[in-house]
Amino acid sequence: MTLLSVVRSVCATVGVVTPTSVFSNITANRTMVEMLDLANEMAQRIAYDYRDWTELKTIKLGGLFGGSGAAYPLPANYKRMLLTSNVWRSTNTTTPMRFVPDLDEWLNRRARGLTVSPGEWMIANGQIFVNPPLQTDADESINFPYMDRNCILRETGGLAEEFMSDGDRFRLDERVLKLGMIWQWKAQKGSPYAEDMGTYGDAITNMMGADSPGPILISGRPITDSMQTALPTQTIYVPGMVP
């Protein structure tokens, strides 16, 4: 579904005139201004407030950073770290770098000349700080997973943070976007919305459940790589198999 398709469906449900275009003459159409703002808000909310969606996960992998000293610019499409992100130094593949969450602690550790192996990192002012600094003469870099800030697929190609044309698409489930817009529109206009919010909640819960595959179980325990190595002769049953 394109943005126009989503908005037309929302308008039909909430009882406002369905548009032939969201962006055409938008400055003279307050309803479409509100619909576009709501679409962008709900898209961002769904994309980044619930979980780390597999569709939006990406990796900063290899390549030298620009910048100078111990501060390096984050990728242009960086939104935030994953909930379980680690930063890895390319010269150490066995131990992740230590995260320092507090700027004051970072400054204190630098003032005291403290260094741990394979290093420490923190984020501030749109940059990632690394200690000790990367060794450019050794082609050293850092690798880490993060969330892509661009949740919109452009009609003209490429990605964007917000809808910019009628043919743009949400990168996640557009039905969930539609349901979210419906309940939020009704809430903003003072209409009963509890049932619509419940429908949206059910849909996004199902979406979260389908986003990651379930584990294969052995005797009620999830199988891991280490278990496969330790138990090479075990029979693994998956849903649909007959024991």
Domain-wise residue ranges, the chain = 3-53+151-211, 54-148, 218-243
Tell me the residue type at 126: G
Lookup: tokens for 216: 């294969």
What 3-state DSSP class applies to 32?
A: helix
pTM of the predicted model, to two decimals? 0.80
Residue 84: predicted pLDDT: 85
Q: How many helices (H) and strands (E) does the chain have?
A: 6, 13
Residue 41: predicted pLDDT: 97
Tell me how far apart the alpha carbons of residues 97 and 142 are, in angstroms, rounded to a whole number: 9
Residue 230: predicted pLDDT: 39
Residue 181: predicted pLDDT: 98
* CA-CA-CA-CA dihedral for 215, 217, 220, 221, to nearest 10: -70
Residue 228: predicted pLDDT: 40
Residue 240: predicted pLDDT: 47
Residue 60: predicted pLDDT: 86
Alpha helices by DSSP H, 143-224: 174-188, 194-211
Going from the first residue of the chain to its last (243 residues), give the mean pLDDT of each consecutive group of 10, the final group possibly shorter.
97 96 94 97 95 92 62 91 89 92 93 91 92 79 93 96 98 97 97 96 92 59 44 41 44
Lookup: tokens for 233: 């002769």
What angle do helix axes 3-14 and 30-48 make, rounded to 10 degrees? 110
Residue 139: predicted pLDDT: 76
CB 14 within 8 A of CB 24: no
